Chains A and B, each alone.
Chain A
């Protein structure tokens, strides 16, 4: 094999230039996947798609279905807007349980209204374009104070009440003082703490649901 008549210096330069290109090529090819992995995954931010493994969706009804409608749209966090086909279902007798509102089923799409929070059981259509509902459950509307709250603050006053002990809390976030009542049903943690440990100056987290203090966690001082 001839070397095109290059001098020794020329050959050395050729080798280094060739080697340099090889190094650049190798670095680029190996680093590309690493750099690509560092980029934000735009596909992960887009809503997913319902598929053969989707048997339940939850979300909010978008628009009130017309009388006689057999489909409606549910806005979900996971899948975006999902078109739901619902031919109807036989209702089961359900009322309220344990003193609180519970979900109820609807017999037809037109029983729904805009803003209803629903859980829909069923399956994805063969072409993946819609969710075929077998049953549609309407969740209780979210009322103010109906969901769980955690209030972190320092006890500024303690008073006896007919149904327990009333605590006045100065919230850590600087908002206005709030009053909560601790009853015998309120769980106090850690295990070794009792209502007698809820004194002025004690930092606590009060857990409330439907306006009732269900638990008090005494924070380390």
Chain B
């Protein structure tokens, strides 16, 4: 009888340990389900945890996702969609692009036949910049 009670206590201790670890995992934060906007969620989390620290400037391209893109010859323009800080200034291929209050932006750029390098630059009011390039081949 006492042995059984001891076993029950051990099982309870094991259950408590399992629950504690599960809670610790939940606190760590599950990976974002929507893989398209990981930077968006991480910046929001940081901003809430540390309200006195300015959120870090970031640039996430939503479309196209890849840096290397091929389009048919008939495609003379490419729409580029992304996310950054809401107050950031965005340019696509040197042209100023509007952002909404969530930091989403869309810009359309003309494509030459052959290889095109399209530079996307975002900046904040402190002069920080983040940029990336998309390499689009038109007509192969």
Contacts and interface: CB of A to CB of B under 8 A. Distances in A.
B10 A22 contact: yes
A148 B93 contact: yes
Nearest to A189: B96
Contact of B96 (A3, A12, A37, A207): A207
Nearest to A175: B127
Given A34-B28, A172-B125, A209 B89 contact: no
Nearest to B17: A23
Given A139-B115, A187-B96, A22 B89 contact: no
A171 interface: yes
Given A189-B96, A214-B95, A214-B96, A152 B127 contact: yes
Given A15-B6, A26-B17, A34-B25, A105 B114 contact: yes
Contacts of A172: 125-127
A56 B89 contact: no
Interface stretch (A40-48, A63-71, A96-104, A160-168): A96-104
Interface of B: 2-3, 6-7, 9-10, 13-14, 17-18, 20-22, 24-25, 28, 67-70, 87, 89, 91, 93-96, 98, 110, 112-117, 119, 121, 123-127, 129, 131, 135, 137, 140
A116 to B, nearest CB: 12
Interface in A127-175: 134-135, 137, 139, 147-150, 152, 171-173
Contacts of A8: 2
Chain B residues touching A, majority SS: mixed
Chain A residues touching B, majority SS: mixed
Interface in A1-27: 3, 8, 11-12, 14-16, 18-20, 22-23, 26-27
B2 A11 contact: yes
A216 B89 CA distance: 10
A38 B96 CA distance: 39
Contacts of A134: 140
A98 B131 contact: no
Given A103-B112, A105-B114, A26 B14 contact: yes
Contacts of B123: 150, 152, 205
Please name the 8 residue pairs, one residue from A and one from B, whose CB atoms are nearest each other, closest first: A215-B96, A15-B6, A209-B94, A19-B10, A137-B115, A150-B123, A103-B115, A56-B68
